[in-house]
Amino acid sequence: MFRMLAFAAATLFAAAAPAQDETPATVLQDFDGRPRSLQEFTGQGKWTVVMIWAHDCHVCNEEVESYEDFHRRHQGTDATVLGISMDGQERKKQARAFIRRHRLTFPNLIGEPEAVAGLFTELTGVQWVGTPTFLIYSPAGQLVAQQIGAVPVQMVEEFIREQSAGG
């Protein structure tokens, strides 16, 4: 189902297709209802790891705390995390509970399921499959990788190290 850990980190992430310059503001909102875009969170001189999640995704619930730890360890230096809930307005209360339950300090946005799936496909050229799904943006704000399914944080760290070293 998921790729094996034995693969090198660089092979776990498929190269991303060129990203669109704009994220339609109507696709994503913060939890206060304000329209937001991915570009507000990328290209700030740090790697940005985007985790697309759903409150009822078993794997998301298992992995998200390791991404919270990653965010806390890296946010002051080289990387940050952005969460995108695809629970939509109908399940916003459950999405908020997910954020509280896991004590997430990284920013989280929310969008309707079809819109988030469409955004992923538009950005990557890859058909949406499910959660969790990850996007990795370079410090310059370029989408450089995507991965559908579980990804151990250590592999993300290795990928960032390799890419930062020119590998």
Rounded distance between C-alpha atoms, residue 21 and residue 23, angstroms? 7
The per-residue pLDDT for 166 is 80
Rg (CA), the chain: 15
Q: How many CA atoms lie within 13 A of 35 on its CB side?
A: 6
Taken in order of first residue, the domains within the chain and their CATH numbers are: 9-164 (3.40.30.10)
Residue 161 has pLDDT above 80, yes or no: yes
Phi, psi of 15 (to 5 degrees): -60, 140
Tell me the pLDDT of the chain averaged across its residues: 88
Share of the chain above pLDDT 90, in %: 83
Residue 115 has pLDDT above 50, yes or no: yes
122-135: average pLDDT: 96
84-106: average pLDDT: 98
